[in-house]
Structure 1
Amino acid sequence: MARTAGSHSDITGPRVREAALKLFAAGGYAAVSMRAIAAEVGVQAGALYNYTPDKQTLLFDLMESHMTELLSAVKDDPTQPADARLKAFVAFHIRFHHARPDAVFIAYMELRNLTPENFAHIEGLRRTYEDGLEQILRDGVASGVFNVSDTKIATLAIIAMLTGVNTWFRSGGRLSLDQITAQYSEMVHRAVT
């Protein structure tokens, strides 16, 4: 099928991803058709297959890109005290995810729609991220700064708590993102000490 006049792969490809991200976040993966994505982009449905082989691949690519970006951006300095590292992790997690609400929603809510192979890959990336936080907690326990009986459960609880900010926080509300981050940092610190 011929490309729509004026479309360019370096422009249309990213627009396909942006449209899919927006539509999957708003209506859910199962409810969004390739035709709906094409309409959002302004191309014929058949043209989408120049950019992705199918909707599953598109979902996987969005999730993998999000997780890869997350893993590339997170930093930890093991030479620092565990409590400072935990504070830095809390601030990073809240800010990174706040800037990407649609990607976060898809990364958490659409896992069930991945094929088993794609699910395993994304879960592996998620585990890598979780392992970073768990190492901070383990180091804190080892140095006597933290008192956590099960670092894996604490890790999952902290990540769930921090990710939850995306569901309710709105800019312009009673508290700024900096104030929310400071309060969450204090709550997390109290939970592990």
Structure 2
Amino acid sequence: MARKIGSSADTTRPRVRSAALALFARHGFAAVSMRQIAAEVGVQAGALYIYTPDKQALLFDLMHDHMTNLLAALAALPMQPTPVARLDQFARFHIGYHLDRPEAVFIAYMELRALTPENFTSIETLRHQYEDHLQAILAQGASTGAFTLSDAKMATLALIAMLTGVTNWYRKDGRLSRDDVQSLYAEMALRSVGAP
């Protein structure tokens, strides 16, 4: 029997995804087998194929969901009246959203190389949509004189790298609170583009 007694798609599918997320983040995609994921969930390896065609599809689904949820949360933010306010909001949002999902963030950045070319293209398209949002803020700020920067695309990539880096070192019981970190990074983001 492939399916464990008492399991169902409604409960097992999220457990498969959660186990895969944790194992990929801890050991890396290449080092994790479907058998390990099954053992973590408590089902036989063959049962996993009820919930996903293969390990690549599982990785893609995790990354795709992370990016689409990120874009939806970004789109739900209230519109701010100025580029300065928009950049401040973006920085705080980016840090807050990503601090709540460190494993998904790690996988989204470190396991891109593990995707098939077709899956890579799909995830890159979503990443570009997110980057384009920030780049539009920076370009608008530069055009109105609120920001001073020579290349909006490079500034976009640098800011995203800086903001995402918080997930590598932040600890809830550390010296700075989450709000402190968001405020300090928002201030650094604004200063990096010459905002007053």
Question: Smaller-chain TM-score range?
Answer: over 0.9
Instruction: Give the letter for the 1:146 counterpart.
Output: F
CA contact (8 A) 2:80 2:86 kept: no
Aligned to 1:41: 41
Shift of 1:2: 3.9
RMSD, aligned α-carbons: 1.1
Match of 1:102 in 2: 103
Query: CA-to-partner distance for each residue in 1:96-129, whole Å, 9 max, x for gaps?
Result: 0000000000000000000000000000000000
Match of 2:114 in 1: 113
**In 2: Cα distance, 1:186 partner to 1:176 partner:** 15
Task: Quote the residue 1:85 is aligned against.
Answer: 86
* % same residue: 62
Q: Structure 2 length as normaliser, TM-score?
A: 0.96
1:37 maps to a residue whose letter is I
- Does the Cα contact within 8 Å between 2:2 and 2:46 map onto a contact in 1? no
Q: Deviations over 1:149-189 (max 9, x none)?
A: 10000000000000000000101111101111111111111
Maintained 8 Å contact 2:2/2:43: no
Gaps of 5+ in 1: none
User: Taking structure 1 as the reference length, what is the TM-score of the superposition?
Assistant: 0.98
Partner residue in 2 for 1:65: 65
Match of 1:50?
50
> 1:2-27, CA deviations, whole angstroms, 9 ceiling, x for partnerless residues?
42211111100110000000000000
Partner of 2:18: 18
Conservation of the 8 A alpha-carbon contact between 2:56 and 2:115: yes
Determine the structure 2 residue equivalent to 1:181. 182
Output aligned runs, 1:126-141, within 5 Å. 126-141=127-142
Partner of 2:31: 31
Cα separation, 2, equivalents of 1:125 and 1:83: 25
The offset of 1:79, in angstroms, is 5.9
SS at match of 1:90: helix
Q: Secondary structure at the match of 2:17?
A: helix
Tell me, what secondary structure is at the counterpart of 1:74? helix
Q: Aligned residue for 1:160?
A: 161
Give the Cα–Cα distance (whole angstroms) in 2 for the partners of residues 77 and 152 of structure 1.
24
Match of 1:97, SS state, is helix
* Local SS of the residue matching 1:25: helix
